[in-house]
Amino acid sequence: MKKTLIIFIFSFSLAQANAQSMSKRKQLAKEFLELITIEKYIDDQLVKVEDSLLKQTNYFFNQKKIDANIMEDVAYFKSNVHQQIDFINRSIKSRLLFIYKTYNYKKLKEIVKQIKKTSAPISEKKKAYKTVNRLISDEIKALIEVNIPGYLDFIYKKQTPVNLAITSKNQADKTQIDDILIIIDGYKPERISLFNKNNLTLSKPANYDDISGIVIIYKNHEFLFEPNPEIFRLPKKLSDMKNPVSKYCFEEVPEWKIQISEDDQKISITLISVEEFTTILNK
């Protein structure tokens, strides 16, 4: 029991000593970074980078063939670039602090004393700035090559309508689809038209929350397509593929097929996005 207590006291004392040591190291590292004014340098450099990137918004949009006149999408792009630059700023400062709080304590203390005494160039200051420039370069390269294409791809999918391929034995039937609407079962239930009859496309919904079904209006008859409640027991990706009004069907399937079949007794409409969904109406 005595031995266990001694080990516990020793371990506790060691942990406290390590915590105090790390606190001292952190304070010294902060002092060094403040003396060489490197955080302001990081701020200034990243402000310039952000300003340069945002000025190229139209260029990025044109490269991806995205409409730069939709203010909501421009705001989304700029907001994400700003947030990522802010994250890069905090990340670089955190990494730099880690480098110097794990630096040789005595050596860093001497460097701090030297900086305070003289305005002569200090090699460690030059090394710190070199490290920062490398980190900024690496992070901005990733932002341009990975993050920005991701933001643009999201906007492109949002702006690009779903193409419709309508087939029927009677060619005239293809022109008699009057509208295609989504049903929103939110606080204020509503029906929103997505159908562009002139070019046979569907606009993307502004929001996928509370969409409960899709209605095809053909020859003044309404054909309702709703997800089978059983699909929501499946894993999300699989249930999305079996849901005619899921975000997946709108954004990952570039073309929907609508097959019209009509005889004297009934009209059948089949909607094919990922899977087939059929609604039959008796005359």
Beta bridge partners of 164: 256
48-54, Cβ contacts within 8 angstroms, sequence gap of 24 or more:
49/85, 49/136, 49/140, 50/81, 50/82, 50/85, 53/81, 53/85, 53/143, 53/144, 53/148, 54/78, 54/81, 54/82
**Helix, strand, or coil (residue 43):** helix
Beta bridge partners of 222: 217
Answer for the pair 217, 209: CB distance below 8 angstroms, yes or no: no
> What's the pLDDT tens digit per position in 56-97?
999 999 999 999 999 999 999 999 999 999 999 999 999 999
Region of 42 (left: φ > 0; alpha: ψ -120 to 50; beta: rest) is alpha
The whole-number average pLDDT for the span 200-223 is 90
**Euclidean distance between the first and final Cα of the chain, in Å?**
90
The radius of gyration of the chain's CA atoms, rounded to the nearest angstrom, is 31
Give the integer Cα–Cα distance in Å for 183 and 154. 24
Give the integer Cα–Cα distance in Å for 240 and 254. 15
The secondary structure of 73-89 as a DSSP string is HHHHHHHHHHHHHHHHH
- The helix (run of H) or strand (run of E) holding residue 278 is strand 276-282
> What's the pLDDT tens digit per position in 173-198?
667 899 999 999 877 789 999 999 88
Beta bridge partners of 282: 266
The yes-or-no verdict on residue 25 having pLDDT over 60 is yes
Place of tokens 């008859």: 221
Q: What is the pLDDT of residue 7?
A: 46
Give the integer Cα–Cα distance in Å for 50 and 239. 40
CB atoms inside a 10 Å sphere around CB 77: 22
210/145: higher pLDDT:
145
Domains of the chain: 2-159 (no CATH), 162-282 (2.60.40)
Mean pLDDT of the chain: 88
